[in-house]
């Protein structure tokens, strides 16, 4: 049951805060945008093609398409700066666009204006193997970076599943399956090159900053990580790299109940096992994976594990974890040491979104993203599964349970508003329960359009007012991704 404080209606509280959405933006004709932006870039780098507009009006989430007036494809940071100077002067809304793999509508353009597509920003500018860091342009994807690093004995471990751009991952403070050992984007970004609303270009960690720690001034890097394009446009990032482990082994183990699986995870962490990945999938998720990815697991709650380190270290980890799993009723251990076997195993995990969608053709998927302290995870997971069963919605549960984060993937009929309302309310109840349990409404997807009301509930009006003050200080005309995060 939710506490009485969490049952308070959300919208009236939002309306008591000052509204950013009404600030000073004004309409500029599409013909003027084409003409002026074409002077900054070139005519071929500015588009009003209907396919381009539709592509840049949505992401992978369930929110409706909201198209920009034009899409511009700058070739360098100087062009981004000039575009922003023009848009700031004319009060034209600007929405940065990476790969479009987000889930909360952050890349859509509900106020029109200009979408800035950073697909040309694909240079890996520098790799320093001895310092375990690199600098990349914002359009480089994490997969492309790891492909480039493969012969250097290094890798970038933040793995959100989708082929996301690193600029977008910085903007949403992305995470993924390796976060339990290697952290999220917040722990792996050393410096950002950012273009502000007025066209100034700054480096948040120092002009050439690559130090692992600094006490010089405010932590601007982590201000922009997770800001979802509302404070500036990230054009490059300096990232921490890690050594590729000597040995990597993956395993699958199954349990009779979700509680047994989660208790196992808690015990693994309590025993200080430096596990690299620990992912939970419920029985319905396994059914979907078996059908879609041609796996052959029993329809039971399942943990997918990965162990990294030296040969001796990995052997010790496996011995400890196997004993813990056995104590909690774990069965059907399946091991994968070969690289190809491991890739197939994790490919099935990363295909859960599509596997879920395939179970009900012509539906769309509403993905939730809650995170709580590990000790609260069994309670939230149990409440969530009961709520899904009561609702009659088809939904799967999967999560990075080593850091208390899990997702549900809930299917709805996009032609039936009532169907969407059911899954939306289910997701909101789940988020409110997470907040009640000292957690958050979003562990890694961000706020975007979908969780603005929940942000206020989680942080309170005074804290959200401080966020708005920061927004107005850096973007007084509210041109950067307006209507996102808060109204």
Residues 110-136: tens digit of each pLDDT: 999 999 999 999 999 999 999 999 999
Give the residue, 339 or 444, on which the prediction is more confident: 444
pLDDT in tens, 151-172: 999 999 999 878 899 999 999 9
Residue 7 in this model has a pLDDT that exceeds 80: no
Query: How do the residues of the chain divide into helix, strand and coil, expressed in percent and rounded to 5?
Result: 40, 20, 40
* Mean pLDDT for the stretch of residues 307-314: 93
Domain with CATH 3.30.43.10 in the chain: 26-114
User: What is the reported pTM?
Assistant: 0.91
Asked if pLDDT for residue 429 goes beyond 50, the answer is yes
Taking the C-alpha atoms of residue 191 and residue 237, their distance in angstroms, rounded to an integer, is: 6
Query: Does pLDDT of 25 surpass 60?
Result: no
Could you tell me the fold of the domain covering 247-338? Alpha-Beta Plaits (3.30.70)
- Tokens representing residue 452 in the block: 């603005």
Share of the chain above pLDDT 90, in %: 85
Q: Which residue has the higher pLDDT, 462 or 6?
A: 462
pLDDT at 333: 79
What is the C-alpha to C-alpha distance for residues 454 and 46, in angstroms, rounded to an integer? 36
Using pLDDT thresholds of 50, 70 and 90, give the confidence band for residue 20. low
Percent of the chain topping pLDDT 70: 95
Looking at residue 12, what is its pLDDT?
34
**Mean predicted confidence (pLDDT) in 377-384:** 94
**Whether domain 124-243 has CATH 3.30.540.10:** no
Taking the C-alpha atoms of residue 325 and residue 100, their distance in angstroms, rounded to an integer, is 39
* Burial of 217 from C-beta contacts in 10 A (0-12 / 13-18 / 19+): exposed
Amino acid 450: pLDDT: 87
Q: What integer pLDDT is reported at residue 338 of this predicted model? A: 80
Under CATH, which architecture does the 26-114 domain have? 2-Layer Sandwich (3.30)
Q: Contact 255/315 with Cβ under 8 angstroms?
A: no
Q: Which residue has the higher pLDDT, 332 or 198?
A: 198
Distance (Å, whole) CA 27 – CA 462: 32
**What are the start and end residues of each CATH 3.30.70.2190 domain in the chain?**
247-338
- Smallest Cα–Cα separation from 157: which of 168, 166, 146? 146
**Predicted pLDDT of residue 24:** 53
- What's the whole-number mean pLDDT along residues 302-325? 94
**Nearby residues of 132 by Cβ (< 8 Å), 6 or more positions away:** 154, 240, 241, 242, 243
Rounded CA gap, 4 and 332, in Å? 44
Asked if residue 84 has pLDDT above 80, the reply is yes
CATH 3.30.465.10 residue window(s) in the chain: 124-243
């Amino acid at each position: 049951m939710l506490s009485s404080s969490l049952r308070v209606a959300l919208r009236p509280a939002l309306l008591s805060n000052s509204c950013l959405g009404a600030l000073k933006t004004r309409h500029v004709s599409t013909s003027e945008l084409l003409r002026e932006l074409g002077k900054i870039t070139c005519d071929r780098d500015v588009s009003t093609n209907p396919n381009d507009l539709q592509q840049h009006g949505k992401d992978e989430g369930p929110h409706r398409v909201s198209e920009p007036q034009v899409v511009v494809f700058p070739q360098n940071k100087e062009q981004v700066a000039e575009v922003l100077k023009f848009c700031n002067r004319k009060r034209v809304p600007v929405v940065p666009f990476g790969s479009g793999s987000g889930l909360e509508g952050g890349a859509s353009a509900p106020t029109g204006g200009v979408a800035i597509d950073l697909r040309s920003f694909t240079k890996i500018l520098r790799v320093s193997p001895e310092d375990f860091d690199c600098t990349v342009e914002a359009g480089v994807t994490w997969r492309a970076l790891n492909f480039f690093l493969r012969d250097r004995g290094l890798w970038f471990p933040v793995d959100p599943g989708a082929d996301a751009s690193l600029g977008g991952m910085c903007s949403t403070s992305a995470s993924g399956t390796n976060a339990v050992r290697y952290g999220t984007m917040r722990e792996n970004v050393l410096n950002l090159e950012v273009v502000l609303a007025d066209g100034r270009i700054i480096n948040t960690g120092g002009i050439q900053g690559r130090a692992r720690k600094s006490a010089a001034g405010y932590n601007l890097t982590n201000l922009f990580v997770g800001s979802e394009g509302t404070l500036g446009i990230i054009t490059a990032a300096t990232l921490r790299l890690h050594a590729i482990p000597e040995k990597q082994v993956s395993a699958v183990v199954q349990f009779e109940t979700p509680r047994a699986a989660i208790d196992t995870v808690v015990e693994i962490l309590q025993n200080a096992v430096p596990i690299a990945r620990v992912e939970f999938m419920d029985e319905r998720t396994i059914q979907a994976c078996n059908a879609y990815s041609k796996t052959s697991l029993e329809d039971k709650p399942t943990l997918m594990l990965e162990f990294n380190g030296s040969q001796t270290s990995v052997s010790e980890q496996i011995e400890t974890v196997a004993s813990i799993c056995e104590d909690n009723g774990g069965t059907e251990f399946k091991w994968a040491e070969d690289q190809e076997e491991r890739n197939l195993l994790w490919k099935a995990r990363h295909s859960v979104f599509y596997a879920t969608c395939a179970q009900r053709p012509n539906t769309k998927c509403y993905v939730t993203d809650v995170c709580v302290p590990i000790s609260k995870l069994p309670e939230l997971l149990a409440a969530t599964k009961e709520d899904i069963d009561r609702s009659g919605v088809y939904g799967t549960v999967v999560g990075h349970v080593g850091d208390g984060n899990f997702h549900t993937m809930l299917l709805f009929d996009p032609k039936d508003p009532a169907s969407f309302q059911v899954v939306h309310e289910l997701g909101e109840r789940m988020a409110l329960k997470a907040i009640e349990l000292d957690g958050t409404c979003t562990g890694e997807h961000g706020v975007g359009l979908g969780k603005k009301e929940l942000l206020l509930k989680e942080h309170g009006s005074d804290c959200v007012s401080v966020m708005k003050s920061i927004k107005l200080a850096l973007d007084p005309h509210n041109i950067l991704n307006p209507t996102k995060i808060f109204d």
